Amino acid sequence: MNALRKIIRNCQQTTLLIEKQATEQLTLKEFFTMRFHLLFCSICRLFKKQSGIINELVKQLYKNATFNTQTLDAGFKTTMQNRIDNELDR
């Protein structure tokens, strides 16, 4: 009983398993520990939902160039072009 109670209280371990599950296969023990905890814990269910949303948004943020749409300044580009041309013409 004590072991079960420990699982029910352990949000820290559960949230770590939630992160792991996003990209990795959990072991059976890990999977059931996480599932069992989530049955009883609405806070971690919310965390799981938010964690998934954050993952999606972070991916979007990087994949759309919206993260940074700045372009390199023309002077720097000319310098680079010259260096490449020099290398090629050697």
Does 23 help bind other proteins (rule: CB under 8 A)? yes
Q: Does 2 bind other proteins (CB under 8 A)?
A: no
Token pair 């994949």: residue: 63
| 4-31 burial: b if 16+ Cβ within 10 Å, else e | eeebeebeeebbebbeeeeeeeeeeebe
Among 22, 28, 29, 36, contact with other proteins (rule: CB under 8 A) = 22
Cα gap 77→38, rounded to integer Å: 54
For residues 79 and 5, what is the distance between their CA atoms, to the nearest angstrom?
Answer: 65
The footprint of other proteins on residues 61-90 (CB under 8 A) is: 61-63, 65-72, 76-77, 80-81, 83-85, 87-88
Catalog residues that contact other proteins under the rule CB under 8 A.
6, 9-13, 15-16, 19-20, 22-24, 43-44, 46-47, 49-51, 53-63, 65-72, 76-77, 80-81, 83-85, 87-88
